[in-house]
Amino acid sequence: MINPDWTLYRSFLAVAETGSLSAAARALRLSQPTLGRHIADLEAGLQVNLFTRAQRGYVLTDAGAAMVPHARAMHEAAARLALIAAGREQSLSGTVRLTASRIVSHYILPPVLAALRQAEPGIEIELVPSDSTENLSFREADIALRMYRPTQSEVVMRHLCDLPTGIYAAKSYLDRRGRPQTEADLLTHDFIGFDKSDLILRMMSSLGFAMRRQDFALRCDDQVVYWNLVRAGCGLGGGQTIVAEADPMVERVAAFIAMPALPVWLVAPDALRQNPRVRRVMDHLADAFRRIAASP
């Protein structure tokens, strides 16, 4: 028996967690043949079958399943080592990986990052637009902009501002259906909802509106697509004021409804707090969002 290196165990864990070579290859940014060779090399080195090849993907054997928690522990240890090393870097030049919601990435961050690139040309930015929570401990991102207070441990966080929201509709829709003047009138209109997420249902409930999923005839979880459905005249929907007020196609309605503001939190692993370029990007983002919140 040989002692396979960590790269093979990392590939094993990715296949175990995704169930297929193709999904694991995407997650690790490797080719599918490379992942296949890693699994074959690991099985040969350990002299044990870790997977059975099924029509729908790779299924763990008993031996493979027994190894998963230990491979995960190796993964966590390797991530902590990488964080410690990155936190000791002293160079201002290099890459910073930033994640934010798709709406923020699409509508708010481009000019913010353009200004950063002009000020700090030595800093390269990898932007990850995502409405899922990236794991900062595993370097899925160095910095995250969250629209909720983070609960992850071993991170540093700053509350930057609260972005106001409102109910909006396309002017074409309002010309066709009229502008709601009362709460009762509002409920006669078409609303665009989320599909799997219950966020809008919970928000409406907090505002005193008992709505069901089927009350939203059009549903979509992708927030950029959701906003474009509003712009196209499909119905009423919630939106960030900073985005909506800059859009000539939409108009705010039902200002008598007190919509909740979205908190903006800046988060990074505690181990990276002294990394010069991470700290520089965090300071730039903090200044930018505070200016955005202060603007009329």
Instruction: Average the pLDDT over 50-72 and give the result.
Output: 88
Q: Which helix (H) or strand (E) holds 115?
A: helix 109-119
pLDDT score for 1: 47
**In this predicted structure, which of 60-64, 91-95, 190-194, 247-251 has the lowest mean pLDDT?**
91-95
How far apart, in whole angstroms, are the C-alpha atoms of residue 6 and residue 77? 11
How far apart, in whole angstroms, are the C-alpha atoms of residue 146 and residue 278? 16
Instruction: Using the Cα atoms of residue 109, residue 111, residue 114 and residue 115 in order, give the sign of their dihedral.
Output: negative
Average per-residue pLDDT for the chain: 88
**How many CA atoms lie within 13 Å of 132's alpha carbon, on the beta-carbon side?**
5
State the distance between the two ends of the chain, measured CA to CA, in whole angstroms: 68
What is the token pair recorded at 10? 């990392």
pLDDT score for 132: 79
How far apart, in whole angstroms, are the C-alpha atoms of residue 13 and residue 15? 5
Structure pTM?
0.71
What is the token pair recorded at 195? 């599909």
94, 277 Cβ separation under 8 angstroms: yes
pLDDT score for 75: 80
Res. 37: pLDDT tops 50: yes
pLDDT digits over 195-236, tens only?
988 888 888 888 888 888 888 889 999 999 999 999 999 999
